[in-house]
């Protein structure tokens, strides 16, 4: 039913100096309709005007969050937010002080980098970027002039809210490129200094000490904290021969790695999807020709290099027998002190020809230490990736699935994510065709910096630590790569089929278990190894639907409604593997031995006996199981290895192994007893429903279903251990899209959620409306065609021109 729209026009005359690539010579004109839940449909004649409309609505929805991040990568965080604050990148787990953050971004996001990104960018990317800046700045001007009362209360009067520049946006693109590489090591790079009288080196950790470290304390040892699930289903996997795609990043619910849904309607481009904040393009999306999604890849995007130094000058290193000077960068940052005064701090940071120098300690142990004889540097393939925006703008303009696949290989600008794609009635495609250092296994063998390569390699399998003083240890070059030093598409994993492919954050190996992908370098991912509980459920859900054994429908294969039911089912796979054994072995005894003695488990057993083995809002008992599995999943010292599974992993049956929980293992019993004790002593009853325990941690106490990946949940809601506030969800299912196409017209039919809603401003009508719909599993339509938009409820309609 159509509602009466709020229709108004916003006009402003402005002179735009300098070169303008827009088709209308400095003019911007965009028509915007917001359908339910604030989804903006932006109609424009060119990419400059599209970017203008996008920048305006994005600032309208998320000004404070984006502005703070742009301030940060400008290297001005300490200047405006103070010395004592910190900066966290939730998507990679890094937290640094404001001061260290400023030194890091000033060192790496240089004017030269910005100029190169600009010079290498396609015209469409430049136009959209320029337009975004103009639209964003327009909204800021209006806010400063007193318009939009009550909006953005947390930042509207802040000194650091003001106009942004195109350079700010190019820095933002760069920050996204290095999310899985350099920016994991902000403090390690910002504090690295050569040894001297005032900076005596520590004794580096031995290989034995490194081997005893907890992998959870080592940056990237367990991969990025972000993840995703995705399926592409071809005609052989559906009941009616259609194709379908499901995409669902598991990203932070806070910060600029939230995703924003928008629809761009241009003369020769019609694209809908989500982009990370500040990116005026669909990074995951669909149109009438194809749909695609991404998951975080296991590949490393960098390598360390160990340098042999001049003992008389620790800022010189040997390279093929000759000495090279490190590049010195003297950087000053301004700092707002507690008394309101401004001070300044200056540091000299160094880089080799590979990249920045760094020092790394883990749990107080010096792992990469700058001594008079050795030092460590990092080469980051994505710091050299100036094709990122081109990749997505070209994809947004592609006219077929074949063109989409060809662009994946030819541009090769995807920084750190796997891709699946399909199109109407077409087959399915998977590719980890991403920016990966060209370091084949043979190079690691001949060039590995021992003993560190072996020792640290046990914690970070696949990561090269190479000898930096030999040119023979430089990254290799492939003829089909767009730039030197990275693998070309021929040496990267990919697969095309007619039934299905998936990825749920394990490596490429079992994208479809019927056709394993093998033979690729270890830096890209592992093969023949156990998959995570989430990945196993990810594959089982498809296999069971295709053979009809899931009990959902007598007819094998997916329908669109069945796909939507499966992906929000909230099943806990480890309960399938272990709950019956727990109930049969521990529960008849009434007690289990925990860390602090015997624990009465009778009441917990009664609850678990009636648990539906899911984490839906009305599910009762899931928090007991989650805390049990959290305890049992803790890595043990090598001399206390738990025999958790009676049936070990087999590469011949990787979807179903390991299995058979060993409830006679004392560590498993202790984990269960301790979980029951901790829940009993918490603020939540043993029989509390999940909807009372697990709620949004960002936009109101809205109940959230789902669970954690480590317990075998496909539907992700992540918060950490059970606390006084239960499970406040700050990470997990984020942008969700389910897409298929009408078999007759070819028109896309898409539904989904932005789980945390479109806006971060509590005063916005779009602050938590979609979160409420998500909580109720009420799928939101993504109207795409003119007919679909006309049949939708339009909440706002306005024209922007300048």
Q: What is the CATH number of the domain that holds 623?
A: 1.10.1400.10
pLDDT of residue 17: 29
Catalytic residue among 22, 106, 228, 293: 228
- pLDDT beyond 50 at 118: yes
CA distance 114 to 653: 49
Q: pLDDT tens digits for 433-479? A: 999 999 999 999 999 999 999 999 888 999 999 999 999 999 999 99
CA distance 507 to 260: 27
% of residues, the chain, pLDDT over 70: 96
pLDDT of residue 547: 97
% of residues, the chain, pLDDT over 90: 91
CA distance 540 to 727: 27
CA-CA-CA-CA torsion for 57, 61, 65, 71, nearest 10 degrees?
A: 30
pLDDT of residue 5: 35
Q: pLDDT tens digits for 286-344? A: 999 999 999 999 999 999 999 999 999 999 999 999 999 999 999 999 999 999 999 99
Structure tokens at 330: 């003297």
Are residues 756 and 683 located together in one domain of the fold? Answer: no
CA distance 379 to 178: 11
Q: pLDDT tens digits for 580-626? A: 999 999 999 999 999 999 999 999 999 999 999 999 999 999 999 99
- pLDDT beyond 80 at 418: yes
Please give the mean pLDDT across all residues of the chain. 94
Are residues 114 and 159 located together in one domain of the fold? Answer: yes
* Domain ranges, residue 763: 735-794
Average pLDDT over residues 94-102: 97
Average pLDDT over residues 105-127: 98
Query: With bands split at pLDDT 50, 70 and 90, how would you rate the model's confidence at 235?
Result: very high
pLDDT of residue 642: 55
Are residues 707 and 592 located together in one domain of the fold? Answer: yes
Are residues 607 and 657 located together in one domain of the fold? Answer: yes
Query: With bands split at pLDDT 50, 70 and 90, how would you rate the model's confidence at 25?
Result: very low
Burial-class residue 196 by CB neighbours within 10 Å (0-12, 13-18, 19+): exposed
**DSSP H helical segments within 145-251, as ranges?**
166-177, 186-190, 207-211
Q: pLDDT tens digits for 266-301? A: 999 999 999 999 999 999 999 999 999 999 999 999
Q: pLDDT tens digits for 351-372? A: 999 999 999 999 899 999 999 9
Are residues 753 and 618 located together in one domain of the fold? Answer: no
Q: Is 228 a catalytic residue?
A: yes
Average pLDDT over residues 641-668: 91
Out of 682, 713, 744, a domain closes at 713
pLDDT of residue 199: 82
Q: What is the pTM of this model?
A: 0.95
Are residues 686 and 781 located together in one domain of the fold? Answer: no
Q: Output the DSSP codes for 585-612.
A: HTGGGSEEEETTEEEE-HHHHHHHHT--
CA distance 327 to 396: 39
- Output helix, strand, coil percentages for the chain, rounded to the nearest 5: 30, 25, 40
Query: With bands split at pLDDT 50, 70 and 90, how would you rate the model's confidence at 1?
Result: very low
Structure tokens at 245: 């795609």
pLDDT of residue 291: 98
CA distance 186 to 292: 32
Q: Is the residue at 228 inside a domain?
A: no
pLDDT of residue 197: 72
Are residues 649 and 593 located together in one domain of the fold? Answer: yes
Are residues 679 and 767 located together in one domain of the fold? Answer: no
Number of domains the chain is built from: 3
């Amino acid at each position: 039913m159509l509602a009466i729209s709020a229709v108004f026009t916003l006009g402003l005359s402005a002179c735009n100096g300098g070169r303008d690539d827009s088709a209308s010579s400095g003019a911007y004109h965009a028509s915007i309709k917001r359908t339910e839940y604030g989804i903006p449909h932006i109609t424009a004649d060119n990419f400059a005007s599209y970017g203008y409309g996008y920048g305006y609505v994005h600032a309208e929805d998320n000004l404070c969050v984006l502005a703070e991040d742009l301030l940060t990568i400008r290297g001005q965080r300490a200047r405006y937010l103070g010395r004592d604050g910190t900066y966290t990148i939730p998507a990679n787990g890094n937290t640094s002080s404001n001061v260290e953050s400023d030194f890091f971004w000033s060192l790496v996001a240089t004017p030269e980098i910005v100029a190169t990104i600009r010079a290498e960018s396609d015209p469409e990317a430049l136009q959209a970027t320029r337009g975004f800046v103009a639209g964003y700045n327009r909204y800021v001007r209006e806010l400063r002039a007193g318009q939009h009362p009550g909006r953005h209360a947390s930042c509207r009067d802040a000194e650091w809210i003001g106009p942004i520049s195109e350079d700010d946006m190019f820095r933002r693109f760069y920050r996204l490129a290095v999310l899985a590489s350099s920016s994991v090591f902000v403090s390690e790079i910002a504090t690295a200094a050569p040894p001297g009288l005032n900076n005596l080196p520590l004794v580096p950790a031995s290989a034995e000490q490194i081997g005893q470290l907890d992998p959870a304390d080592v940056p990237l040892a367990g991969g990025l904290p972000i993840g995703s699930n995705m399926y592409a289903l071809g005609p052989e996997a559906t009941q009616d021969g259609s194709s379908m795609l499901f995409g669902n990043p598991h990203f932070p619910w806070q910060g600029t790695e939230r995703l924003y849904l928008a629809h761009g309607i241009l003369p020769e481009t019609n694209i809908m999807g989500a982009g990370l904040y500040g990116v005026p393009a669909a990074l995951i999306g669909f149109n009438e020709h194809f749909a695609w999604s991404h998951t975080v890849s296991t590949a490393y995007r960098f390598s360390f290099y160990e340098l042999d130094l001049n003992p008389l000058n620790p800022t010189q290193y040997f390279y093929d027998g000759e000495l090279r000077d490190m590049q010195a960068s003297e950087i000053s940052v301004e700092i707002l002190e507690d008394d309101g005064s401004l001070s300044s701090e200056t540091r000299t940071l160094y880089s080799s020809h590979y990249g920045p120098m760094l020092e790394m300690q883990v749990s107080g142990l010096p792992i990469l230490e700058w001594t008079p004889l050795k030092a460590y540097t990092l080469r980051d393939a994505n710091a050299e990736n100036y094709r990122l925006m081109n990749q997505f703008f070209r994809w947004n303009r592609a006219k077929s699935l074949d063109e989409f696949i060809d662009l994946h290989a030819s541009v090769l600008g995807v920084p750190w994510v796997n891709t699946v794609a399909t199109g109407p009635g077409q087959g399915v495609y998977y590719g980890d065709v991403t920016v990966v250092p060209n370091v084949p296994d043979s190079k690691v063998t001949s060039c590995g910096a021992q003993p560190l390569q072996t020792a640290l390699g046990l914690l970070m399998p696949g990561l090269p630590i190479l000898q930096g003083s030999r040119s023979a240890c430089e990254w290799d070059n492939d003829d089909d790569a767009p730039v030197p030093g990275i693998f070309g598409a021929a040496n990267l994993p990919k697969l095309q089929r007619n039934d299905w492919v998936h990825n749920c954050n394990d490596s490429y190996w079992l994208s479809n278990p019927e056709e394993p992908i093998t033979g690729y370098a270890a830096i890209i991912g592992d093969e023949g190894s156990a998959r995570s509980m989430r990945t196993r459920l990810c594959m089982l859900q498809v296999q069971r639907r295709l053979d009809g054994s899931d009990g959902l429908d007598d007819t094998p294969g997916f329908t669109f409604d069945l796909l939507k039911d499966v992906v929000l089912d909230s099943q806990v796979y480890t309960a399938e593997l272990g709950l019956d054994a727990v109930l049969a072995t521990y529960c008849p005894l009434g007690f289990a031995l925990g860390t602090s003695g015997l624990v009465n488990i009778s009441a917990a057993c009664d609850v678990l006996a009636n648990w539906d083995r899911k984490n839906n809002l009305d599910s009762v008992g899931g928090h007991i199981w989650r805390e049990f599995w959290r305890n049992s999943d803790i890595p043990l010292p090598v001399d206390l290895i738990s025999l958790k599974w009676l049936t070990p992993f087999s590469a011949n049956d990787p979807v179903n192994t390991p299995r058979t929980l060993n409830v006679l293992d004392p560590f498993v019993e202790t984990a269960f007893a301790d979980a029951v004790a901790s829940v009993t002593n918490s603020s939540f009853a043993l029989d509390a429903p999940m909807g009372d325990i697990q709620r949004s941690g960002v936009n109101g106490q809205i109940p959230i279903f789902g669970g954690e990946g480590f317990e075998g949940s496909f539907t992700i809601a992540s918060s950490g251990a059970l606390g006084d506030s239960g499970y406040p969800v700050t990470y997990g299912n984020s942008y969700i899209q389910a897409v298929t196409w009408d078999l007759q017209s070819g028109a896309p039919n898409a539904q989904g959620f932005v789980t945390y809603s479109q806006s971060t401003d509590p005063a916005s009508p779009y602050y938590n409306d979609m979160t409420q719909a998500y909580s109720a599993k009420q799928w939101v339509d993504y109207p795409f065609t003119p007919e679909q938009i006309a049949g939708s409820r339009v909440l706002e309609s306005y024209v922007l021109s300048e």
